[in-house]
């Protein structure tokens, strides 16, 4: 008997069920929505060109999308325009990518201004998540970028796009991000979270949302651990 307080249904409510591969098709996205509804996830996350989604068979499912993805090397006004279009097309949440190079150079004011521009284009109740590519940053840079995201009015900080060669989420980065934002912002662990053990370790470290592409496998692993 595991000591985890989570069953599969509870864990599913942490999940942004994600499909961001460039070769994804309309049929793939339709299958994602159907699977997300069946699994009971919090949201599906898709590329903005797939919006709006048909949720007639998936009531209650939230829609997330990405902005400035995956490089973050877009002008802030372009990111803002992209994000605003996505909201008009039905996105409830927007996951934007910062200019990671600006963070590495210590230009945190530019990082904050970039986030501020997207926040202005996506006023609450739209949820704005800020992807920082934590694996490419030092601890000092992670802390500074999280502070910039909070100052700019973001709702979440997020580890990774899942496309950066430096890697995805780590327990250390999630713990540091969680400590920095102190519960004032959410923390999304994304990139390389492939098993139930991975998911639970991220939550234990402070993640309040998980970005998963292999959601069914993660949830089935938890069910197996629970003896379902």
The pLDDT-based confidence of 228 (bands split at 50, 70, 90) is very low
Across 35-51, average pLDDT? 98
Cα diameter, the chain: 52
Q: From CA 139, how far away is CA 176, in angstroms rounded? A: 8
Across 25-41, average pLDDT? 98
23-27, 83-87, 211-215, 220-224: the lowest-pLDDT one: 220-224
- Please tell me which residue, 109 or 225, carries the higher pLDDT value: 109
pLDDT digit string (tens) for 83-123? Answer: 999 999 999 999 999 999 999 999 999 999 999 999 999 99
pLDDT digit string (tens) for 48-67? Answer: 999 999 999 999 999 999 99
Residue 169: per-residue pLDDT? 98
Across 39-43, average pLDDT? 98
Separation in Å, CA 77 to CA 119, 145, 176 = 11, 20, 30
Q: For residue 24, is pLDDT > 70?
A: yes
Residue 223: per-residue pLDDT? 74
Q: Is the dihedral of CA 178, 48, 32, 71 positive or negative?
A: negative
Q: For residue 5, is pLDDT > 60?
A: yes
The catalytic residue positions are 95, 158, 188
pLDDT digit string (tens) for 178-196? Answer: 999 999 999 999 999 999 9
Q: From CA 161, how far away is CA 211, in angstroms rounded? A: 9
Across 171-176, average pLDDT? 98
CA 199 to chain centre: 14
Task: Give the angle 41-45-48 at the CA atoms, nearest 5°.
Answer: 155
| Token representation of residue 209 | 């949302």
pTM, whole model, 2 decimals? 0.96
Q: From CA 76, how far away is CA 87, in angstroms rounded? A: 17
| Token representation of residue 149 | 């995201």
pLDDT digit string (tens) for 65-87? Answer: 999 999 999 999 999 999 999 99
| Token representation of residue 88 | 């008009």
Contact 21, 46 (CB under 8 A): no
pLDDT digit string (tens) for 14-23? Answer: 999 999 999 9
Residue 185: per-residue pLDDT? 98
């Amino acid at each position: 008997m595991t000591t985890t307080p989570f069953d599969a249904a509870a864990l599913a409510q942490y999940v942004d069920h994600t499909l961001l591969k460039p070769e994804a098709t309309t049929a793939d996205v339709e299958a994602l929505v159907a699977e997300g509804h069946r699994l009971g996830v919090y949201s599906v996350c898709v590329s903005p060109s797939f919006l709006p989604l048909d949720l007639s068979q998936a009531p209650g499912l939230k829609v997330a999308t990405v902005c400035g993805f995956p490089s973050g090397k877009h002008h802030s006004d372009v990111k803002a325009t992209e994000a605003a279009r996505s909201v008009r097309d039905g996105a409830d949440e927007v996951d934007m990518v910062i200019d990671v190079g600006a963070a590495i150079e210590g230009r945190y004011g530019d990082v904050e201004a970039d986030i501020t521009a997207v926040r202005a284009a996506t006023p609450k109740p739209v949820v704005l998540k800020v992807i920082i590519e934590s694996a490419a940053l030092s601890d000092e840079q992670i802390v500074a970028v999280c502070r910039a995201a909070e100052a700019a009015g973001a709702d979440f900080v997020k580890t990774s796009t899942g496309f950066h060669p430096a890697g995805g989420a780590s327990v250390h980065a999630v713990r540091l991000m969680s400590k920095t934002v102190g519960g004032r912002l959410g923390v999304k662990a994304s990139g390389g979270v492939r098993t139930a053990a991975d998911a639970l370790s991220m939550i234990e470290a402070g993640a309040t949302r998980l970005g998963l592409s292999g959601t069914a496998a993660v949830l089935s692993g938890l069910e197996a651990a629970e003896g379902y």
